[in-house]
Amino acid sequence: MFGAVMAYDPASHAVVLVSPLSGDNSHSATYRWNGSSWGALVTDGPGVDGIAVDPLVHGLVACGPTTYSAAFAVHASCWQWTSINWVPAQPSLPSTSNRSVTIDAEIDDVDRAQLLLIGWPVPPFQNQAHPLYVWAWDGYTWRLLA
């Protein structure tokens, strides 16, 4: 189960908190801090595991429970924050292999104002080192870093 995530929303100049509502990670509530209390903005939002500032539009992007496909096009359930609601963002990462992959972590890279996704091939390679892949969101597309 994912936990609550927070980020500063430069568009609304407020801190946004996204908290899980369901045991299956599929729903969340989004709150905004007004300086003295939390106010609910969205009570049936997407499940998100990571949140970061989109460097090009100076807004928030979040990714939720992830899936994988046989074509290695990772569907990251990504969402863009409009300061009042979540809207679907680009749903998949670029294909880099014909192997399936699973995503294990979404990390807010504060220094570079981007969201990183980390994953590996499924099933693992037999008797070989387990490769790890890292993607970064640049505001328009996902790019494979390693």
The pLDDT value given to residue 124: 63
The yes-or-no verdict on residue 99 having pLDDT over 70 is no
- pLDDT, one tens digit per residue, over 85-98 is 998 876 554 454 44
> What proportion of the chain, given as a percentage, has pLDDT over 90?
19
How many structural domains does the chain have? 1
Strands 27-33, 14-20: pairing is: antiparallel
The pLDDT value given to residue 73: 47
Task: List the domain range (segments joined by +) for residue 50.
Answer: 5-144
Q: What are the φ/ψ torsions at residue 110 (nearest 5 degrees)? A: -60, -40
User: How many CB atoms are closer than 10 A to CB 105?
Assistant: 12
Question: 123 preceded by cis ω (within 30°)?
Answer: yes
The CATH number of whichever domain residue 87 belongs to comes to 2.120.10.10
